[in-house]
Structure formats: C-alpha cells, structure tokens
Amino acid sequence: MYKNIPEFEVLPQHVGFIMDGNGRWAKNRGLERSAGHKEGAKTFRRICEYCADVGIKHMTFYAFSTENWSRPEKEVGALMKLFKEYLLEGEERTAENDIRQMRLKFIGEKEGLPKDLLKLIEKAEKKTAKYSKITINIALNYGGRAEITHAVKSIAAKVADGEISVDDINENLVSDNIYTAGQPDPDIIVRPSGEFRLSNFLTWQSAYSEFWFSDVLWPDFTEENVNEILSDFQKRNRRFGGV
C-alpha cells in the first residue's frame, strides 16, 4: 500500500487511461516493440494500484483496440502472451487483492481472442466478483463504436421480443446496455504520448468527460503524473451544459 498520498478535495469517481506510447518508448531505446509493451504492463499495475490507494473507485484502461489487430502478427502475439502472463501473475497476488478489493472486468468483444486467454479472463472476473471497493475495467478487443453497436443490437432484440417498445428507448436505456452499465461515466480521460484524440475509447461514456493530455510515453508515466492530473482536476469547472 502507498503511503504519504496527497489529499485532494475532489476526486474523480472514474478515470479512463489510454495507455499509449509503448512502441515509441521501445524504439527510442533501440528495443523491439514488445519490450515497450512489457514495460507498459508494469506501469499499468503500478498506476492502477496507486489510484486505488488514492481512492479512485473506477478506472478503465485501454489495453487493446479492435483496430489493433491490424498490427504485425508478431506484435499481436506478444501482446496476447503478455495479457495471459498478467492474469496468471494476478492469481498469485490473492492477499494483495484482498486488501485492495479490486474487481476486474474485461470490456470488449470476446470473439477473436485466444481460447486460453478467455478462460483466464473468465476465471479472473469470477474470482474478483466479490469485491466492490474498486472496479478496474480492462478494455480488451474494445472499440467505442462496436460497444454502441452491441448496445443497439441488444435493445433491438428486446423490442423484437416484445419486452420493450420503441418509445421506451432513451439515453438511460442505452447506458444500461453498454459494457460499463451501472458504473459512473469517466470524469476525466488521460491520454499520454503527445496524441490528442480518443481513438474510439469510451465513445458513449465520454460525452462530458474532462481530458488531460501529456507528452509522457506510457511506460514513463508515474504516480507524480497522477497527482498532477488530480491537482488539475480540482480546478476544472464542470457545468454539464449548464451555466
């Protein structure tokens, strides 16, 4: 557990992290891209645990998008192996997980993922389902537009079955059919690595999210960067369309 954490008057309920810059981090050091992803995985665990200790209740980490399948086969294979290693390592951290009470949820399309990875995902979700203090969403094979399409299909099926009528469809119903149903929308989305776009991340949920951009590559992201984000969040005036 982290000690000497700064106190913040207002904490975001939900923070989204676009973990970007692993490949460039490796390239800058003359390493293969897979080395950057390994270092990025270490950063993910560290930042995740720090945010939990700060008191952030919901986090979503963009791990692998639906578009990432177009990357070189070797890189995709290395990423899938890394996800498996993370889940296997997590099985050995039971005591630590009990202390932080972090629930793991994987959001995204299951189709296309390796079967052995899917088994580990299912096991991790079942094992941590008892926790309610912290929710960690890992966006894997995820796309914001695909998520909205999934919700539309689910709602359309209910209309076709006569469970609901077209007049019952509203924003709340859509929110109830997306992957993060029951969770607050992200208060702030963090994008490191010098890019200024969402990249199909939490498209529905980010309608009123704040944004925080940085040139820091994800493997170099630190707890001090989190403190900087939270300090900046204190100054944001969130009006949600009001005055």
User: What tens digit of pLDDT does each residue of 81-96 get?
Assistant: 999 999 999 888 777 7
Query: Do 178 and 148 contact (CB within 8 A), yes or no?
Result: yes
Domain segments of the chain: what residues?
14-144+185-233
Question: What confidence score (pLDDT) does residue 166 get?
Answer: 97
- The dihedrals phi and psi of 182, each to the nearest 5 degrees, come to 90, -5
Instruction: Please give the CATH topology (third level) of the domain spanning 14-144+185-233.
Output: Undecaprenyl pyrophosphate synthetase (3.40.1180)
- The dihedrals phi and psi of 189, each to the nearest 5 degrees, come to -115, 130
**Which of helix, strand or coil describes residue 107?**
strand
Query: Do 204 and 24 contact (CB within 8 A), yes or no?
Result: no
Residues for the chain: how many in total?
243
Report, as residue numbers or ranges, the catalytic residues. 20, 68
pTM of full prediction above 0.85: yes
Which residues are CB-contacts of 117 (< 8 A; sequence separation ≥ 6)? 80, 83, 84, 87
pLDDT above 60 (res 125): yes
pLDDT digits (tens, 9 = 90+) for 166-225: 999 999 999 999 999 999 999 999 999 999 999 999 999 999 999 999 999 999 999 999
